[in-house]
Amino acid sequence: MTSAKQTGNFRKRIQPTIKEARFMLSRLFKSPLSVAGLVLISYNIILAVFAPVIAPNTSGVRQYDQYMIPRDQSLGFWIQPSPPTSGHILGTTSMQVDLFYGCVWGTRFAFQLGLEVIVSTLTIGLILGMISGYYGGFIDEVIMRFTDIILAFPGLILAMVFVAVLGKAGWSTLQAAIFSIILIGWPGYTRLIRGEVLRVRGEDYVEAARAAGASDLRIMARHILPNSIYSVIIVASLDFGSIVLTAAALSFLGLGSPPGYADWGRLIFDGVPFSGSGLTYWWTFVYPGIFIVLFTLGWNLLGDALRDVLDPLSRRK
């Protein structure tokens, strides 16, 4: 058994996959809406990665947490926001907190939060979904009924309960918010992976591995996981937008990050009192909102396009 022969086989085996990927990509780049989505996502990624360069801390005050927006002390501690100037191109909000820094670092925060949540929910979903689908029977029943219970609540409401209870128990609301978003997120992936595992479980190569004496763990890790994970990863990555939106909604309700944190939802929450004087202080709530919309719009556009491309019924026409 030579390695050259193996690579040859490997090439032949993944040939259809490459062809499929090329076809999908060409379809994606042909639709203007999905290109717009990709552009928006790249723009957000650039903002997030280069946040320290784009919006450096110029206040001269050392920060203990990069996401705590530095205050311009030359402007004092006025509650009243100051309008956009050359020094603060998006203006400042309550207590002279710089909005440009907040919005740019808010992008970085959105990605960090989204990644944390997706990695955790996917890990939980993968483990439970595989156990559920592979072993079936009683354990499957228990896990599925548990997902039923979590799914019996509209997501944001359950998250609200967790934040209130954990907050009462002394957690910081931000920790509590991330924890609760993870908690409401895993049942969806668990079910999805379970379905995929059920589909793959009966395949010949799994039977073959079992006949060859492979252990359950090996079958799950080497044969079932690689064949059931892709669709779930795609679904999960498209959930980025909605996860960030849920987190922003929690922050908007005052159930997320602390005051002065680089989080779009929190910035809008801080801008709400100023919306009471009409459009006088419009920048305090309009700018953070625009950043959220550009983020979720990107993911929704790409998600829409991907769904069209991946759906075999609607594609080759």
Applying CB under 8 A, the residues found at the interface with other proteins are: 33, 145-146, 148-150, 152-158, 160-169, 241, 245, 248-249, 252-255, 265, 268, 271-272, 275-279, 282, 285-286, 289, 292-293, 296-297, 300-301, 304, 313-314
Quick check: 302 and 41 in contact, CB under 8 A?
yes
In the complex, minimum distance from the CB of residue 115 to other proteins, in angstroms, rounded to a whole number: 20
Q: What is the smallest separation between the CB atom of 52 and other proteins, expressed in angstroms?
A: 27
The residues, any chain, with a CB within 8 Å of residue 191's CB and separated by 6 or more, are 129, 144, 147
**DSSP reduced 3-state for 170:** coil
Question: Which residues have a Cβ under 8 Å from the Cβ of 174 and sit 6 or more positions away?
Answer: 256, 257, 258, 261
CB of residue 275 vs other proteins: minimum separation in angstroms?
4
Comparing CB distances to other proteins, the nearer of 208 and 290 is 290
**What residue has token string 């100037």?**
85
- Cβ proximity to other proteins: between 79 and 161 the closer is 161
d(CA 6, CA 186): 38
CB atoms within 10 A of CB 171: 15
CA dihedral (15, 36, 268, 59) positive or negative = positive
Closest contact distance (angstroms) between CB of 8 and other proteins is 41
CB 93 within 8 A of CB 75: no
* Residue 43 CB neighbour total at 10 angstroms: 14
CB closer to other proteins, 70 vs 256: 256
Reported as type and span, the H/E element at residue 93 is: strand 92-93
| Closer Cβ to other proteins, 105 or 299, answer by number | 299
Nearest distance from C-beta of residue 150 to other proteins, angstroms? 7
What letter represents residue 196's amino acid?
A: E
Residue nearer to other proteins on the CB measure, 100 or 287: 287
Closer to other proteins by CB, 46 or 272: give it: 272
Cβ pair 269, 254 in contact under 8 A: yes
Tell me which DSSP letter residue 68 carries.
B
Task: State which residue, 16 or 137, has the beta carbon closest to other proteins.
Answer: 137
Residue with tokens 């990624």: 45
Compute the least distance from the CB of residue 111 to other proteins, in Å: 17
Name the minimum Å distance from CB 237 to other proteins: 17
**Which tokens is 119 given?**
């990695």
CA-closest candidate to residue 147, choices 164, 131, 169: 131
Whole-number minimum distance, CB 20 to other proteins, in Å? 22
Closer residue to other proteins, CB minimum distance, 28 or 219:
28
